[in-house]
Amino acid sequence: MRAKTIDRIATYVLTGIAVLIIAVLVGLLGFILTNGWHKLTFDFITSPPDLLKAGGGVGPQLFNSLYLLVLTMLISLPLGLGAGIYMAEYAPNNRITQSIRLCIEVLSSLPSIVVGLFGLLVFVTMTGWGYSLMSGALALTVFNLPLLVRISEDAIRNVPKSQKEASFALGISKWRTVVTVLLPAALPGIVTGAILASGRVFGEAAALLFTAGMSSPDLIFHDFNLDSPTSPLNPFRPAETLAVHIWKVNTEGLTPDARDVADGAAAILVLAVLLFNLGARWFGTWLFKKMTSVTR
């Protein structure tokens, strides 16, 4: 009788917590989207911001966010995956490995503003690049690496040991076993990790303030010369992202429609993250099916 009562209470409490979390999430999303909905015009999404007058857009910022994401992933995914493979399959179980693991934990708990200041010192000043996409991407790599290493290590470890045995028993070398047997099987976990990391890149502001910078040149989208300061693809130009733009407009925006711009930018950011997540999930499923023939 008593156990039953406790069970009922626990069920109610847990359901309540779940409902509360979902309510907060739905409320937040609804609030952001309803406030920003009216700004979601083609003009706002594509035109550059205006520093003084009303009517500016967030085109370059949206592009910067996406481009920075691509750059960051190009750098951090191979590193994270490589380190994950090493930790899961090659690292001997000893003091050094344990201390590497500890370092990764510590790195993952660094406040992002500290990562940003470290980035300012190393990737902006010491390299002499100034505020640039590349500096931002490297700072975000520092920020993301622990997560990626951890998740790919776990994903590879979670592949049943029998898969490895089967491969070794066929005389297949360790490296080829990792590449052709373990990685494909670990793919869903790795994709989830990459999506999580990407979400953080989209949303990150503090680590980017002093690395990718708080301004963006007026981009000329048909300029493909990588050296040109107005080329969207130049990785060594300053690049304010959407999240940084929201923060900047909110704190020091001078235009009369600053609030409006921030609301609109927030809505776009949320939608972009949503679309990206759905797209990445679809791609991950497609890739998994392609590599393993397994339909999930």
Q: Which residues contact other proteins by CB under 8 A?
A: 160, 162-173, 176, 180-181, 184-185, 291-295
User: What is the smallest separation between the CB atom of 94 and other proteins, expressed in angstroms?
Assistant: 11
Report the nearest approach of other proteins to the CB of residue 154 (Å): 17
**Nearest distance in Å: CB 166, other proteins:** 5
Residue with Cβ nearer other proteins (185 or 249): 185
Report the C-alpha gap between 231 and 266 in whole angstroms: 25
Pairwise CA distance, residues 199 & 62, whole Å: 14
Closest distance of CB 247 from other proteins, Å: 44
| In the block, residue with structure tokens 């085109």 | 59
- Rounded distance, CA 168 to CA 190, Å? 23
Alpha carbon dihedral 196, 64, 235, 211, in 10-degree steps, equals -70
Nearer to other proteins, 168 or 283 (CB): 168
**CB nearer other proteins, residue 138 or residue 185:** 185
Nearer to other proteins, 92 or 128 (CB): 92
Q: From CA 211, how far away is CA 132, in angstroms rounded?
A: 6
Instruction: Mention every residue, 6+ apart, whose C-beta is less than 8 A from residue 182.
Output: 89, 156, 159, 163, 164
Nearer of residues 105 and 165 to other proteins, judged by Cβ = 165
Whichever of 81 and 183 has its CB closer to other proteins, that residue is: 183
Query: Between residues 39 and 164, which has the closer beta carbon with respect to other proteins?
Result: 164
CB 136 within 8 A of CB 216: no
First to last CA, the chain: 42
User: In the bound complex, what is the minimum distance in angstroms from residue 185's beta carbon to other proteins?
Assistant: 4
Q: How far is the CB of 295 from other proteins (least distance, A)?
A: 7
* In the complex, minimum distance from the CB of residue 172 to other proteins, in angstroms, rounded to a whole number: 5
Q: Contact, 185 vs 163, CB < 8 A?
A: yes
Placement of tokens 């156990």 in the chain = 3
Cβ proximity to other proteins: between 5 and 295 the closer is 295
Q: Rounded to whole angstroms, how far apart are CA atoms 51 and 107?
A: 37
Tell me the closest approach of the beta carbon of residue 65 to other proteins, in angstroms. 35
Nearest to 243 by CA among 77, 158, 116, 80: 116
Structure tokens at 142: 């520092």
d(CA 75, CA 141): 7
